[in-house]
Chain A
Amino acid sequence: MLNYVLRRGFMALLVALTVSFGTFALFHFATDPAQTIAGEDAPQEMVDEIREQYGFDRPVLVQYGDWLGGVLQGDFGKSYFWKQQVVELIQEHAKVTILLALSALMVTVAIALPLGISAALKPNSWVDRLALSTAVSAQAIPNFWLGLMFIILFAVTFPIFPVSGDATWKHYVLPSLVLGASSVPAVMRLTRTGLLDVLSSDYIRTARAKGFMGYRLILQQAMRNALLPIVSVLAVQLGHKLGGSVVTESVFSMNGLGRLAVESIFNSDIPTVQSLILIFVLTFVLLTLAADLINAWLDPRIRMG
């Protein structure tokens, strides 16, 4: 087991470093950071001076090493655009995003799992059809549109929740629903097909021959097997929510990491963008790792393989 954790952890670190170096290099080849800092119309001497002063004339690998060394000591650099330490910026925005992502995940699980399970228990029944049509429509409806409709319905027509912002828990209800709904189709379908697969397997037939039926058959025999792919997909979905809920954050005017990233990109704020990418990648990689570990705990074949 320890062996497994170490191996996966090592791989995760490798992936994170590769992606962050890739984006770092891309930025340096695609844009000229000295020009960005100096401004569009600055004279060439000034740009050159900034280039030398900031060390942009050194090889990319050296610059990356330099930056990474800082990151390891908690120094993510200073934002060109916000004129603020990147660490502070991220701290300010991360709280909103984490809260939003976690509550959205709860919405997804609360809708998708029961719906998927009941659909699998009675394939081709009305529950199944309801679940599948929910999935199709949820997949077809764009996030921003659903967000706007929610605002019109629950904030304007019936003013139950606030229209925008991130001050109180009430501000999070509508965005969580919108963001959570976007993952429902994938998770629901996976629960349904996964459970259907498991239920038609030989070992479930064995369990039935032993006298298992009803909820015991599902919970004590089938569910653990069906959970494996669901855990993996939930991790990816949570990663998306933590990294890229740009649309939802924009529609509800929430000051999360997604919006910070977009604005930093528009303003070519390289230190912020780089730091955010590193954080997004690390989050993703760590979540996948967590999913793998949960799956290893659930399934002895992974644990001992």
Chain B
Amino acid sequence: MTTASILDIQDLSVEIPTDSATLKAVRGISLDLKRGETLGIVGESGSGKSMTALAIMNLLPPSARRAAACINFDGSDLTHSGERELATKVRGQRIGMIFQEPMTSLNPVYSIGRQLTETMTLHRNVSGAEAEQRAIQLLEKVGLPDPASRLKQYPHELSGGQRQRVMIAMALMNEPELLIADEPTTALDVTIQAQILYLLQDLQKELGMSMILITHDLGVVSRSADKIAVMYAGDIVETGTAEEVLRNPQHPYTQGLLECVPGYRGNDAHRLGSIPGIVPSMTGTIRGCAFASRCPRAVDACKTDLPPRKQLGPGRTYVCHDPDATRNQATFGAEEAANEVAVELPKTPGDTVLTVDSVSCTFSVRRGLFGKRKSLKALDTVNLDIRKGEVLALVGESGCGKTTLSRTIMGLQQPDTGSVSLGQHEISTLPAGQRARMIQPIFQDPYSSLNPRKTIGDIIGRPLVVNRIGSKSEQLAKVHKMMEHVGLPRRVFNSYPDQLSGGQRQRAAIGRALIMDPEIVICDEPTSALDVSVQAQILNLLLDLRDELDLTYLFVTHDLSVVQHMADRVAVMYLGEIVECGDRSQVLSNPKHPYTSALLDSALSISPDLSVPAPGLSGEFPNPMNRPSGCPFHPRCPVAEQQCREEVPKPEIIDTTFVKCWKARTFSHQAKHQ
């Protein structure tokens, strides 16, 4: 690695004028990136990470204003380059960029081939055939099977993971010296995320590229980045090598972020750390430290004086008053955590409250008017029971049938065969009102699951009104009590959802679900749309409420660190089947199914000394319309044999764990890693 800087940014600011005030999205940051290095920029949404990335090549939205002392890219200052010079000499040529949303970042009306080749023919004097050759090479390199025929396909024919690979190939067409990747894996499944990160890491080594990796995921950044810059409210508050920043964080914000990550405090901690409040929007004159209002160590000076940038070593800085008075003060609810450990009692399994009995669900899909009807088996003889007071996690990649199963359990989807029963009653025979009283959902996206035209009070109380429970005043009292339970201040009773933060909205959604006193709450990815600090608050809240109100959760998620933190038992789904189900400790530390084991490998915990592991799963999640024969997992399975290809595995119970795999008795997760 040479020591020459490829990118040197000094005092970069981005301002966005709005109707009421000017928002300071990026506030005078400086960055330095050496050749061949990877810089990770981390921070919550609204911290200014993406604006920083867009500002480098001046791709900001038209209303934004950029100012910088210099943006030195390989010796030339990009601040002096006009639009034409940037477009013809830098963008797509020397600096490539990958965006967050693979679903919308490719032009829907042009073929993959055209979008790849034009990147090259636009800048260089090459023939179409040469560009096509290069496109095929790159598609092969990013791991898309059958690249030549991909060129004729259109974006909508590809899955999210495939599109992101095309985006990467597109960014690499002209062999850029610098690659800026803005949340390249956020929208993808963990298995695909691991594949893409591994691929980027590999390509970077091979091509000697420098990379800026922007992410909110500390696990991702810990594995991929050499250096880390932590952003908060438009400023870089801490920098250093990945090792230094993650092992020995200096800024209270960095510490707080780490505390919020499930698993960081150790798996036994009952509560996650959390950062109270939200990122303030930076308008007007800024006084004091932007983090002061959320910081547990803040003293008076923090609120009035701008914090100094302290240098600990070359490239190791942090911006904080670092008051001596609060130096050893416990941070972010750690004292609670200490108290909680004693409280946790070994749980005795409760009675079964809900039984899913060999439920199958097949959808009939037809393409076109005269197309053949094809059946899509969404659920295949699923057996599951949920016990009183437990958290049962349902894990799997997108398309595995998690949502169909939760819909079936809620009674919103009729199974073809089998039944779901709640206590003595079969769900499908219950009237809708009674069903709703027993099972309530919390959805993933608090931005779209709350009616924007109703006030928060209305939304939370709505189930009571619909089911005519109690008088007006009783309903009102219940709503107020519920708002207190879920930690919503009284003043938001008359607010509308768009006036609330994401975390508050999810609290309202939880309140709405709980106001009916349901037996079972189905949480469908309740935190995956939220920032890590907010996720921590919500997870803490869900666990507290379970203890207070004696609730039972079915927790649908793809995030294994959340499972590790929340679940008592885990069920792993693959292509409409439950392939493994058992106690959390059993399933997560000693998985019996190779799929569970692969999922665990893909989950990136915070460990700066490790890199992204080579993906344990080959290929993508298969199309449920073309189910593989035998064990549906066999095409991706590292240990599959002839029997797996031919015969459907029999379910069996090994050490109290349910598993469906021919190799379960011989497969060992640990052995794989030795």
The answer, among A3, A202, A210, A220, for a CB contact under 8 Å with B119, is A210
- Whether A205 contacts B371 in the complex (CB less than 8 A), given A301-B156, A304-B154, comes out as no
> Nearest CB to that of B153 among chain A residues?
A300
Residues A211 and B119 in contact, CB atoms below 8 Å apart: yes
- Whether A209 contacts B109 in the complex (CB less than 8 A), given A7-B368, A7-B369, A301-B154, comes out as no
Q: Give the distance to chain A from B131, nearest Cβ to Cβ, in Å.
A: 13
Q: Give the distance to chain A from B576, nearest Cβ to Cβ, in Å.
A: 25
Residues B109 and A225 in contact, CB atoms below 8 Å apart: yes
**Cα distance, A4 to B92, chains bound together (Å):** 38
The interface bits of chain B over 108-125 (1 if a CB of A lies within 8 angstroms of the residue's CB, else 0) are: 111100000011001100
Q: Give the distance to chain A from B16, nearest Cβ to Cβ, in Å.
A: 14
Residues A205 and B59 in contact, CB atoms below 8 Å apart: yes
Decide yes or no whether B222 CB sits under 8 A from chain A: no
Decide yes or no whether A15 CB sits under 8 A from chain B: no
Residues A209 and B97 in contact, CB atoms below 8 Å apart: yes
Decide yes or no whether A140 CB sits under 8 A from chain B: no
**Cα distance, A76 to B368, chains bound together (Å):** 36
The interface bits of chain A over 256-274 (1 if a CB of B lies within 8 angstroms of the residue's CB, else 0) are: 0000000000000000000
Decide yes or no whether B305 CB sits under 8 A from chain A: no
A:182-223 near B, CB below 8 Å: 200-213, 216, 220-221
> Nearest CB to that of A298 among chain B residues?
B109
Q: Give the distance to chain A from B373, nearest Cβ to Cβ, in Å.
A: 14
**How many residues does chain A have at the interface if contact means C-beta atoms less than 8 Å apart?**
28
Residues A210 and B109 in contact, CB atoms below 8 Å apart: no
**Cα distance, A7 to B110, chains bound together (Å):** 25
Q: Give the distance to chain B from A223, nearest Cβ to Cβ, in Å.
A: 10
Residues B93 and A211 in contact, CB atoms below 8 Å apart: yes
**Cα distance, A155 to B221, chains bound together (Å):** 75
Decide yes or no whether A72 CB sits under 8 A from chain B: no
Residues A225 and B108 in contact, CB atoms below 8 Å apart: yes
Residues B108 and A205 in contact, CB atoms below 8 Å apart: no
Residues B107 and A203 in contact, CB atoms below 8 Å apart: yes
Decide yes or no whether B106 CB sits under 8 A from chain A: yes
**Cα distance, A299 to B118, chains bound together (Å):** 19
Residues B156 and A225 in contact, CB atoms below 8 Å apart: no
Decide yes or no whether A6 CB sits under 8 A from chain B: yes
A-chain residues with CB within 8 Å of residue B83 when the two chains form the complex: 213
Decide yes or no whether A224 CB sits under 8 A from chain B: yes
> Nearest CB to that of B371 among chain A residues?
A3
Residues B92 and A211 in contact, CB atoms below 8 Å apart: yes
Residues B91 and A210 in contact, CB atoms below 8 Å apart: yes
B-chain residues with CB within 8 Å of residue A212 when the two chains form the complex: 87, 122
- Whether A202 contacts B99 in the complex (CB less than 8 A), given A210-B91, A211-B88, A299-B109, comes out as yes
**Cα distance, A206 to B166, chains bound together (Å):** 12
Decide yes or no whether B104 CB sits under 8 A from chain A: yes
The interface bits of chain B over 143-155 (1 if a CB of A lies within 8 angstroms of the residue's CB, else 0) are: 0000000000010
**Cα distance, A205 to B96, chains bound together (Å):** 12
**Cα distance, A221 to B156, chains bound together (Å):** 17
> Nearest CB to that of A206 among chain B residues?
B105
A-chain residues with CB within 8 Å of residue B111 when the two chains form the complex: 300
Q: Give the distance to chain B from A134, nearest Cβ to Cβ, in Å.
A: 23
Decide yes or no whether B157 CB sits under 8 A from chain A: yes
Residues B156 and A300 in contact, CB atoms below 8 Å apart: yes
**Cα distance, A9 to B197, chains bound together (Å):** 48
Decide yes or no whether B84 CB sits under 8 A from chain A: yes
Decide yes or no whether B101 CB sits under 8 A from chain A: yes
Q: Give the distance to chain A from B168, nearest Cβ to Cβ, in Å.
A: 12
Residues A300 and B91 in contact, CB atoms below 8 Å apart: no
Residues A3 and B369 in contact, CB atoms below 8 Å apart: yes
A-chain residues with CB within 8 Å of residue B61 when the two chains form the complex: 200
B-chain residues with CB within 8 Å of residue A300 when the two chains form the complex: 108-109, 111, 154, 156
> Nearest CB to that of A224 among chain B residues?
B109
The answer, among A3, A203, A204, A213, for a CB contact under 8 Å with B370, is A3
- Whether A6 contacts B91 in the complex (CB less than 8 A), given A203-B104, A209-B59, comes out as no
The answer, among A209, A211, A221, for a CB contact under 8 Å with B107, is A221
A:102-120 near B, CB below 8 Å: none
Q: Give the distance to chain B from A88, nearest Cβ to Cβ, in Å.
A: 39
> Nearest CB to that of B103 among chain A residues?
A202
**Cα distance, A67 to B157, chains bound together (Å):** 48
Q: Give the distance to chain A from B54, nearest Cβ to Cβ, in Å.
A: 8
> Nearest CB to that of A227 among chain B residues?
B109
Residues A206 and B106 in contact, CB atoms below 8 Å apart: yes
Decide yes or no whether B57 CB sits under 8 A from chain A: yes
**Cα distance, A299 to B91, chains bound together (Å):** 27
**Cα distance, A7 to B99, chains bound together (Å):** 38
Residues B108 and A299 in contact, CB atoms below 8 Å apart: yes
The answer, among B84, B92, B370, for a CB contact under 8 Å with A209, is B92
A-chain residues with CB within 8 Å of residue B154 when the two chains form the complex: 300-301, 304
Which residues of A are in contact with B by a Cβ distance under 8 Å?
3-4, 6-7, 200-213, 216, 220-221, 224-225, 298-301, 304
Closest CB pairs A-B (n = 4) = A210-B92, A211-B92, A213-B87, A300-B154
5 cross-chain CB contacts under 8 A: A206-B167, A210-B91, A210-B122, A210-B170, A300-B154
Besides A203-B105, A209-B96, 20 other CB < 8 A contacts? Answer: A3-B368, A6-B370, A7-B368, A202-B105, A203-B108, A205-B99, A206-B97, A209-B92, A209-B99, A210-B91, A210-B92, A210-B122, A211-B90, A211-B91, A211-B93, A213-B87, A224-B110, A300-B154, A301-B109, A301-B156
Which residues of B are in contact with A by a Cβ distance under 8 Å?
57, 59, 61, 83-84, 87-88, 90-93, 96-97, 99, 101, 104-111, 118-119, 122-123, 154, 156-157, 167, 170, 368-371
